[in-house]
Structure 1
Amino acid sequence: MKTWNKFGRPVNKGAEEIKIFAPIKKKEKEIGEKTKKEVERNVVKGYRMTNVFNVNDPNGVPLPLNPIVTKNVKESEFAEKLYMPMVNKITNELPVVVNQDYKDPSNGYYSSLEHKMLIHTLILRINSRL
């Protein structure tokens, strides 16, 4: 609720919280391989239950429309090495369906009735192997 308020979007009275697993992050210092300098980075140490609100629960300032992951990811060896292991891990361990034909600008949805999440795939060349 505090985060929505910071964005100028107060949560509607009576809105119900949704419980999710949120990462517990800790900053750790390490020596960079190339620079040999001390670097600080966030490391996930575990998960905890936390409450969030549905994006439709608050009102106020419109949300930005920029997606978290852009749709114009260039095909590359790096993208392929990163993308396919991520998709395989997600689809093997969670009720996730990958669909390259999904056209909604949201890039996916979660259905509590079907207990599944549908995500739009980003790299069409790689999608043909799914």
Structure 2
Amino acid sequence: MKKNGWKQKKDQPTQKERVEQLIKQLDEGVSNFSYSPEDFKAILQMKALMPNYSFRNLIVAKAQLPRAQFIAPFKRWNELGRYVKKGQQAIRIFAPRFVKAKDENSNEDLKLVGFVTVPVFDCSQTEGEPLPIDSLKIELNGDSPEAREIINFAEKVAEKDDCPVSYGDAEGANGFYVPSQHRITVSDTLSINHRCKTLVHELVHSKVHRYDIRSSKKEKEVVAEGSAYIVCSYFGLDTSDYSFHYVKSWSKGDTESLMKYGSQICEISGKIIQEFQRLKEQQQSLQQLQTA
């Protein structure tokens, strides 16, 4: 029987009730998650290595490369034993332009006459010697049948929506979605389990954020990762080790983020679950016909 569009089996919770239970688990998991002293130490060490740019420049950098986190000039990366990957495009930020000038006492001084743009690169665009931030990278290991099944469903849903999915160089990220081209790229270096979680995360972006220019980056990422956690958990893949950390990092101390976006996560994950469930039922029916 169905209740409010959610499939229900006798004496079992409805899909909606199961999603709501998972939302509660996500909320509790993120609320109770805390960074270790080692995590804070790595972040502080990383900041100490990087040039101190203004908030304005950080916004300018993220407008060009949303995943930008730690930026520095080409020369600084070389000093750290790292090199810009071939084919990477520089991020342009502002730098003050000074000229020599003489004051009333005929002493030379520097006078600010304007700003020029200078090239910098994000850490994700470089490779070489390890960085303190590398110790914070969390990966989902393993190759489970549940993950492979979810990947199959996600690829079919994306294909139906004319959204190509490719696996290859994700430019330092685990994956990304390009709204202007309506396409998804997932890193081919990830394990199957991590690849699965990332694909569902980007699938949410493709279905919800393609034309969304009003929501903040934080909202988009919390909603995408929260929905990915719900969908993957529903079909048997636990991504809590990664998802709790990810959502917490985007919440940045805002304990009400999940409360704000909870209904949106519930609605989005519910729709994707129903799409996956239909594909699963079709697959099971086909298998039954083949073995009949």
TM-score scaled by length of structure 2: 0.19
Query: More helix by proportion, 1 or 2?
Result: 2
Query: More strand by proportion, 1 or 2?
Result: 1
Q: Which has the larger radius of gyration?
A: 2
TM-score scaled by length of structure 1: 0.36
